[in-house]
Amino acid sequence: MLEQQDVSAPFQTHMENPLLWPIMEVLKKQPRGWKVHTLATHLNDLGLVPILDPKPEKDLFKKNFLIMNALYQLQETLFPESWLQVQAMDIELMHGRYYANGHAIDPEDPLRDYYVHWENYEADEGEVKRLLNEFWTRYRKFVGGEDIGDMDRGKALSLFELPMDASPAEIRKRWRKLALRWHPDREDGNSDQFRVLCEAWNVLRH
């Protein structure tokens, strides 16, 4: 394994993997029967995953890392309302608190510990930020988002119902709650509201 890269703790704590939301859309439509490689193929077919490395074996590793990282973030976001089983060969979204009962997120799980630490992607912080910005741009196009000219930090925080001095952790927590509430794949979701929230998050995530 490479030496630990220049990836700061705040970055690792607050940087959201934009594959989280397209993966959620996929799992909402088909909750079970996924493996990492089949999920990667499906996301690629949707145009959401570019080639990440000219060497095929490195490209495969990086795609696998990004998907596993997103799955673990999504598992944390959905718990305890639902349980997302994260296993390389058996990924399943179990709906409702009934299914979440008996499950617990294990912060000591060595596999989880590996995939939530961005230095294991083998890139410095600047490269990871550029990568995630590219992924976020692809996702915004995927959901039909576009730049809203007057969307500044103040308006975005107002939409999130947060004060001007909100911390990065508070902003991300609120974004995930709102995104889950308005996601168009939910029965009472709203695609227009979700797109506006995506634009607000695009301003606040930097």
Amino acid code (one letter) for 34: W
Distance CA 40, CA 60 (A): 9
What three-state secondary structure class fits 182?
helix
Number of domains into which the chain is organized: 2
Q: Looking at the domain assignment, is residue 3 inside a domain?
A: no
Q: Looking at the domain assignment, is residue 10 inside a domain?
A: no
Q: What count of other Cβ atoms lies within 10 Å of the Cβ of residue 4?
A: 9
Whole-model pTM: value is 0.82
Check pLDDT > 70 for residue 181: yes
List the single range of 27-31, 139-143, 158-162 with lowest mean pLDDT.
139-143
What is the token pair recorded at 120? 């294991």
139 and 152 housed in the same domain: no
pLDDT tier, 2 (very low <50, low <70, confident <90, very high otherwise): very low
Distance CA 17, CA 4 (A): 20
For residue range 142-155, what is the model confidence (pLDDT) as tens digits? 877 665 567 889 99
80 and 165 housed in the same domain: no
Q: Looking at the domain assignment, is residue 2 inside a domain?
A: no
Distance CA 181, CA 190 (A): 9
Residue with tokens 């902003």: 171
Check pLDDT > 90 for residue 195: no
112 and 178 housed in the same domain: no
Q: State the DSSP string of 59-93.
A: HHHHHHHHHHHHHHHHHHHHTTTSEEE--TT-BEE
113 and 182 housed in the same domain: no
Amino acid code (one letter) for 48: L
pLDDT on residue 14 = 65
For residue range 47-98, what is the model confidence (pLDDT) as tens digits? 998 888 899 999 999 999 999 999 999 999 899 889 999 998 999 999 888 7
Average pLDDT over every residue of 35-40 = 94
Distance CA 92, CA 164 (A): 38
CATH code of 165's domain: 1.10.287.110
Residue-number span of the structural domain to which 166 is assigned: 148-205
Distance CA 41, CA 52 (A): 14
23 and 76 housed in the same domain: yes
